[in-house]
Amino acid sequence: MAITIDHLVRSRRKTIALIIQPSGALTIRAPLRMSDEQIKEFAYKHAEWIHKKQTEAKASPPLQEKQFVDGETFLYLGKEYPLAIVTRQRPALTFNGNKFLLTYSNIPITSKIFQSWYKAQAQVVISKFTTFRAKQNKFKFLKIRISSARTRWGSCSGNGTLSFTWRLVLAPPEILDYVVVHELVHTQIRNHSKAFWKKVGEIKPGYKNHIRWLKQNGKYLTL
């Protein structure tokens, strides 16, 4: 089977990962010192899985682009809320618990405004979840960083910096909590060994369901 690697990302990770994008494109994340031949060999060994997932991705209905019109719904913590266009207000985008309110004059840049709003919420919400879980389970981390990553929900650096994509605040709280727990466990166990998953399972017994949910619904956590 022929394998096309659409994106190759090298970093200071210890393991190699295969990621199938919603479009069906293949992204491979690999350790810095892994050679091109080793990466290709790994991909060929998993060719059947790659083609299966690519077929599934291409068969899925295409995502509908947001139009940012009155009544259109947007996700926040797993629930959909309608958008209402208003004449004027400050700031340009607000959320009253029931709906989003956006000023008409800012419609041309609504995507950027929404993304900024989600990032701000992510910093607050994810920090609360992380601080709670860290204290509860005696984890230590250096700081929290909010990113715009599209293929990684979270990561843990060698110095204890935890990075999370703002897209997580579109997911249900239990899914966000799973990603937080996942990265906090990495502050103690850097790999995905049996010991790692055992620790995750002790804190989040239903974590396999959360992983499955992300695989099935992760592509919808976007603008």
- Mean pLDDT comparison of 7-16, 146-155, 160-169, highest-scoring range: 160-169
Residue 21 has pLDDT above 90, yes or no: no
Domain boundaries, the chain: 7-59, 73-111, 116-220
Q: Is 151 exposed, middle or buried (0-12, 13-18, 19+ CB in 10 A)?
A: middle
What pLDDT, on the 0 to 100 scale, is given for residue 1? 63
User: Does 116 score more than 90 pLDDT?
Assistant: yes
Instruction: For the beta carbon of residue 51, count every other beta carbon within 10 angstroms.
Output: 16
Confidence at residue 146, expressed as pLDDT on a 0 to 100 scale: 97
> In the numeric block, which tokens belong to residue 148?
């715009």
Q: Give the model confidence (pLDDT) of 28-69 as tens digits.
A: 999 999 999 999 999 999 999 999 888 887 777 767 778 889
Structure confidence at residue 160 (pLDDT): 92
Q: Any idea which architecture 116-220 has in CATH?
A: 2-Layer Sandwich (3.30)
Instruction: Report the pLDDT value the prediction gives residue 45, as an integer from 0 to 100.
Output: 92
Mean pLDDT, the chain, rounded, equals 92
Q: CB of 57 within 8 A of CB of 91? A: no
Q: Measure the CA–CA gap between 71 and 175, rounded to whole angstroms.
A: 26
Q: Is pLDDT above 90 for 215?
A: no
